[in-house]
Amino acid sequence: MGRSGAEKLRRFYKNFSGDDRVLVAINADPDAIASAMAIKRLLWRKVSGVTISNVNLISRPDNSAMIRLLGISMINVDNIEKERFSKFVITDSQPDHHELFSKFTFNVVIDHHPDSGIKADFRDIRPTYGATASILTEYLRAARIKPSVKLATGLLYAIKTDTKNFTRQTLIEDVRAFQFLFKNANMHLARKIEYADLRFDYLKYFRNAIDTLHLRRGRAYVHLGMVINPDICVLLADFFMRVNPIKWSIVSGIYNDKFIVILRNDGIRKNAGKLVKDAFSTLGSAGGHRSMARAELNMEDLSDFFHKDDDKAARKWVINQIEKTAKKKTTKKQKKSNGQP
């Protein structure tokens, strides 16, 4: 991490005192969970206590397996008494990524997603990194902390997941972090997390998705209707990217009056984050990386376009939004290549 890393670590520690009770808020996925574990280790014996709190429902098999196998203690945000804490940290997210983050004013923000301009006493936002876990691994190295087997395994799995085995956006720093962690990680444990079995009640969504799949210009569109949690949309979006010749996977579903749209692509001259932002940001939260992105829209704002029980109309609306936006981008590129203003 070098001199700049040591300076970042010094500025990070400057935000805490021995009497502080710290809350680390996350939108739990492997990268967020592992990064929170690392922050807890960095603050061990430097503050009065550290609590990790998730704002989302944890039901994805790999997330559940990671928490169970690594022995991670976590409290849902609904059960948090804000007054008990003096400092608030957010990692692998920024406050505008989930409405429940608005409950807190964050002192520290550490993330690898595009910078949303959040103000905080300490910010370390590096959008070019493949995983926030890589950033936190640099902090551990600067602090000369040898990670425990469980911490190293969690961080390694997070880097592996967020870079999709180094096939998504990755820097040499991600590779170096992975190499450092590999020496201390338990690969058998990492594989158990990675290959966690699917829940039986998810299988109906796979059948529905396959039966209703609409393929257009290498883009696979699926609308699942009501889902028991939004992670099902993520699982299916990742699943369809393994099917040849699909180049884009767009999966939508409705959860708690939210319309969720998940985008994945093969990363070749594509930008999922920009596409989803252009297509949906006027109606709600939308953004992400080049190969993976997400939109969350309030159903009440979509009532003019389709009824929530009309799955065909919902899928048609998503297709129209994506295709219309993609066409505009293609036309703009063609004009630019022809020298037109």
Domain boundaries, the chain: 2-194, 202-336
pLDDT at 68: 94
pLDDT score of 110 more than 90: yes
The architecture of the domain spanning 2-194 is Alpha-Beta Complex (3.90)
Separation of alpha carbons 139 and 213, rounded Å: 44
pLDDT at 340: 55
State the virtual CA torsion across 65, 68, 74, 77 in degrees, nearest 10.
40
pLDDT at 197: 64
Percent of the chain at pLDDT exceeding 90: 79
pLDDT score of 67 more than 60: yes
Higher pLDDT, residue 21 or 235: 21
pLDDT at 168: 77
pLDDT score of 1 more than 60: no
Give Cα separations from 38 to 77, 119, 144, 153, 166 (angstroms). Answer: 20, 22, 13, 11, 21
Higher pLDDT, residue 328 or 37: 37
Positions of E strands within the chain:
21-26, 49-54, 75-76, 87-91, 108-111, 122-125, 214-216, 219-226, 248-255, 258-265, 284-288, 292-298
For range 54-75, the mean pLDDT: 92
For range 143-152, the mean pLDDT: 97
Q: How confident is the model at residue 97 (pLDDT cuts 50, 70, 90)?
A: confident
Residues 6+ apart with CB under 8 A from 267: 167, 168, 169, 290, 291
Total-model pTM: 0.72
Higher pLDDT, residue 48 or 169: 48
Q: How confident is the model at residue 207 (pLDDT cuts 50, 70, 90)?
A: very high
Q: How many CA atoms lie within 13 A of 190 on its CB side?
A: 21
Q: How confident is the model at residue 150 (pLDDT cuts 50, 70, 90)?
A: very high
pLDDT at 60: 82
> What is the CATH topology of the domain spanning 202-336?
Diaminopimelate Epimerase; Chain A, domain 1 (3.10.310)
For range 294-318, the mean pLDDT: 96
DSSP label at residue 220 = E
Residues 6+ apart with CB under 8 A from 244: none
Give Cα separations from 315 to 215, 235, 249 (angstroms). Answer: 12, 18, 13
pLDDT at 269: 78
pLDDT score of 119 more than 80: yes
For range 248-274, the mean pLDDT: 93
Length of the chain: 341
For range 312-332, the mean pLDDT: 88
Question: What six digits make up the tokens of 121?
Answer: 């006493």
287: closest CA among 158, 151, 113, 99? 113
pLDDT score of 24 more than 90: yes
